[in-house]
Amino acid sequence: MKTFIAATIIFALLCSAIFGISSAVVQRLGELTALALALPEDAGEFSPPSERLLSQTTQLGTLWEKSMHFFPYIMGYEMLDRADEAALSLAAYAKSGEQAEFLAAKTRFLDSVARLRELFGVNFSAIA
């Protein structure tokens, strides 16, 4: 009976932890998506790179780096690689003012984050 009670408590704690962690991950990915969507796309922002472009890209990069402290405990590095590479590209292309590459990196980042959100959120589509 003691083992059963202990197992029930552990199972409840595990379920709560999974739900809590998944919610935190989804929330963080939501913040990253919002920041990425707000990145400027106009040609005028790139030659030379505007203050707004650089600060928003830095903000996104900082949040992504912060997220990389706990994301690897939940998802594998292979899952994070695509988004990580896109985040680094965004910072590099913002500094160099290459609009076309920047926009491609932005699309890649948004797509990677959307995939992670689907896979690590609490939803049944992630089972696939």
Residues at the contact surface with another protein, assessed by CB under 8 A:
1, 3-4, 6-8, 10-11, 14, 18, 72-78
* Dihedral sign computed on CA atoms, order 80, 82, 86, 92: positive
- Between 4 and 44, name the residue whose CB sits nearer to another protein: 4
**One-letter amino acid identity for 126?**
A
**Residue 2 Cβ, how far from another protein at the closest point, in Å?**
11
Q: Give least dist CB 33 to another protein, A.
A: 22
Q: From 106, 100, 94, select the one nearest 48 (Cα to Cα).
A: 94
Q: Which is nearer to another protein, 12 or 38 (CB)?
A: 12
Q: Report the nearest approach of another protein to the CB of residue 84 (Å).
A: 13
To another protein, the closest distance from the beta carbon of 19 in angstroms equals 12
- 14 versus 34: smaller Cβ distance to another protein: 14
Q: Which is nearer to another protein, 48 or 76 (CB)?
A: 76
Full DSSP string of 56-102: HHHHHHHHHHHHTTTHHHHS-HHHHHHHHHHHHHHHHHHHHT-HHHH
